[in-house]
A and B are shown apart, each in its own frame.
Chain A
Amino acid sequence: MEILNQIKDEWNAAKTACLNGITGAMKFCKDEWNGYTRNIKITLLVLFGLVGLFIIFGIQILGWGLGYTDMSNLYPFGQWIIGDLGLVGLGGGAFTMGFFLYILRVDKLKPLINSTVLIGFMCYLFTLVFLVFDIGQPLRAWFGYAYPNWGHGLMPQSMLTEVVWCLTFYFCVLIIELVPLPLEHPVLQKFPFIHGLTHYMHKLMWIMAAAGTFLSFFHQGSLGGGMWGVLYGKVVWYRPAYFFTAIVAATAGGTAFMALCAYIAGKVMKKEVVPWDSFQTLAQISGVLTIFAFLFQAWHVYMQATHFVPAFDRSFLDIWGGYYGIWMVVLMFAAYIGAIVLLNVGALRSQERFFVAGISCGVGAISFDKMIVVLHGSSTPNFPWKSFAGYNPTIQEWGIFLGGLATMILIYMLFAKYFPLFPHLNKHGHGEEHAH
């Protein structure tokens, strides 16, 4: 009897606490909302609207299947796979920065690292989210761990098996890297245990950075390039050289993306969130990496044009017809060249507008690359009597894609507001001066 009473008491206490919590939270939200400017309010409404679409269409896709997308037997991969490739590629900035900061000790990157780890984490999280929507049987997703296609020996047979495992491990690494960020909140730092934990985690983070770099080299290569390079039946995709291109492109585009995100955050918050020096260092790193990425891209396009496409008894220019034709390749190379020039010439890089243009070009180049892979690979006909196919994502695909990105932005905003995402801000009080 006593124990029953006790449960009852606990229950009532919990209920009261909950009710108080809800009232408090509601009041808090209301106050917060009223504290925002008009522009922020509009932005938030749009973002929450997109999240709403994400939820509605997510239920539809998971419950009733992929028939609602414009993917088809001719177009097995669509917008979400572009999203996956793009997010993993751009998220590659996280391991690159980790490598430069913790292994090569480029300390100027320190003010950027929290933001980078969060973005990296979200990129990988939403890659997995999009993948869950994209596979026809999400409830069988664990088959990837239960029945992996290892083949003989240690090397996995299927690039996708490799991607699934590597992605999972690296996602774990990212979670560990992310843990200190919320724990660095001033309230939590008052607990000596947490303070000590974060301190030691930072000390040992080079291990994670090394593990992350090791893992990333594999899955960046596999997902970005290897997955496509092994498709020997498909003329657009078959390019064995693409594996390495994808790794280098991810380091180049990813670092540019990390700089771009932090820069935009600073603009929105109207504060100097990261010292200009740090931006410049990162842009310089990105610029050098972009040169390598460009060389790799050029090399594999050359290999494709001279070796692989002729091996299919087709001509290189001929496969670049249709909606997603040669113009996309030209645009991609233009973006590469833009990034190389703007980020490597110090006189240009140090001017804010050229810096922004440069990192945008870097992000654009890698995004175009991923779009070309997915869109053009399926679009090219397999039979000479068929024509180039087109792909028009449906509202469901847009809803989930944009809703996912909106969720990422909201999480980023949340961290920027309540957690020490940019430690630089605290060091200089609240730096009132505008970002450069």
Chain B
Amino acid sequence: MATMKRKWGMAIDLDKCTGCGACSIACMQENNLPMFTDDSDSPKRVTFLDLMRVTNDRDTDKKFGDVETAFIPKMCQQCEGNDPKNPKPPCVSVCPVVATDVGDDGVVSQIWSRCIGCRYCQASCPYEARVFNWWKPDYEGSFKEGLSPDVSVPSRGTVIKCTFCSHIWKRERDRMLAKGVKDINAVLYTPSCASACPTGAIIFGDLNDQASEVSRLAKDKRAFRLVHTIDDKPEEEKKRLMAIKHYPNPKVYYLSSKQWIKDMQKFK
């Protein structure tokens, strides 16, 4: 068995995103997310992919006609902290029972059945990406038929999260093994949201592979990361700041040609 050389990342082209919501529905279907007859209490919702509607309403000088609106699909940003060689996502070190860890492929994992539900990881997450099962997940009657055996049904009182659909990676690896390919680095896969995107706005791939599309897009002029304004600072300043504290350093990149979306990433 070779060591894992991949580092999975994502690039989302907001210029191509129509906000149709196919990614979020596909994610829920793939990950057996709970169903409720009323899920309008949005802060208690259990979703991995949140389609955030963003406008630049906050700019006081803007009037009707000047504002714009966009949808930002937000899932776990798979942070790695300052040092990618020794990843330190904000949520992993805090877990008292080792229910979450960061894999050698950079994916922040979560063990559904290990979690005691203390929600410390939720408190630590700057992207509101972790969700807690406030109510008992309910799959009324025949809705159970549509559940996938690849992902455990979550328990009430546990935190669950987006894992870049790592179970699909395992599925693909098993397929490769069946073909006799033992090299884990030969296994490629696409998470559910990326494969469902009708405009191909979500690109998934290996950030370690310089030739991959996601690597190319991550270096694009249009690229930015959510609320990660340290990226815009000069090198010297960056070094100074990183000496003070860790930065999430997410592996999900967003692309937009609109300056206002990038401006919205900074608090005023």
Contacts and interface: CB of A to CB of B under 8 A. Distances in A.
A contacts B directly (C-beta below 8 A): yes
Interface of A: 64-67, 69, 71-77, 134-137, 140-141, 143-144, 146-149, 151, 157-161, 163-164, 227, 230-234, 237-238, 307-308, 311, 313-315, 318, 377-378, 382-385, 389
A144 B34 CA distance: 27
Nearest to B57: A385
Majority DSSP secondary structure for residues of B touching A: loop
A158 B98 CA distance: 9
Interface centre among A64, A160, A318 (most CB of B within 10 A): A160
Interface in B124-181: 124-128, 130-136, 155-159
29 contacts: A67-B44, A76-B120, A76-B123, A135-B116, A135-B117, A141-B116, A144-B116, A148-B97, A148-B98, A149-B98, A158-B95, A160-B118, A160-B120, A161-B96, A231-B123, A231-B124, A233-B79, A234-B123, A238-B245, A307-B244, A313-B229, A313-B266, A318-B267, A318-B268, A378-B123, A382-B127, A384-B266, A384-B268, A385-B57
B244 A137 contact: no
Contact of B246 (A67, A158, A232): A232
A234 B126 CA distance: 6
Contacts of B117: 66, 135-137, 140
B234 interface: no
Contacts of A67: 44, 134-135
A157 B159 CA distance: 19
A225 B59 CA distance: 36
Contacts of A143: 96-97, 114, 116
Contacts of A148: 96-98
Interface centre among B41, B43, B123 (most CB of A within 10 A): B123
Interface in B201-250: 226-227, 229-230, 241, 244-248
B187 interface: no
A66 B116 CA distance: 13
B90 A233 contact: yes
A137 B116 contact: yes
Given A147-B114, A149-B97, A313 B245 contact: no
B85 interface: no
A385 B58 contact: yes
Nearest to A144: B96
B245 A308 contact: yes
B94 A159 contact: yes
Contacts of B267: 313-315, 318, 384
A73 B55 contact: no
A137 B157 contact: yes
A74 B128 CA distance: 7
A157 B122 contact: no
B17 to A, nearest CB: 16
A232 B245 contact: yes
**4 smallest A-B Cβ distances: which pairs?**
A136-B117, A136-B157, A233-B126, A72-B43
A311 B245 CA distance: 8
A152 to B, nearest CB: 11
B126 A382 contact: yes
Contacts of A307: 244
Nearest to B248: A233
Contacts of B52: 383, 385
Given A136-B116, A230-B93, 13 more contacts: A65-B133, A66-B132, A66-B157, A72-B43, A77-B119, A77-B123, A136-B156, A143-B97, A143-B116, A149-B96, A234-B90, A308-B245, A385-B58
Nearest to A65: B156
A65 B136 contact: yes
A424 to B, nearest CB: 42
Interface string B98-120: 10000000000000001111111
B5 interface: no
Contacts of A164: 96
A65 B134 contact: yes
Contacts of A69: 134
Interface in B53-112: 54-55, 57-58, 79, 81, 90, 93-98
Contacts of B44: 67, 72-73
A76 B119 contact: yes
B6 interface: no
Contact of A76 (B132, B136, B226, B248): B132
B265 interface: yes
B7 interface: no
Contact of A233 (B41, B114, B125): B125
B264 interface: yes
Contacts of B119: 71, 76-77, 135-136
A357 to B, nearest CB: 35
A246 B247 CA distance: 25
A409 to B, nearest CB: 28
A315 B131 CA distance: 28
Interface centre among A74, A76, A158, A227 (most CB of B within 10 A): A76
B45 A73 contact: yes
Contacts of B120: 76, 158, 160, 227
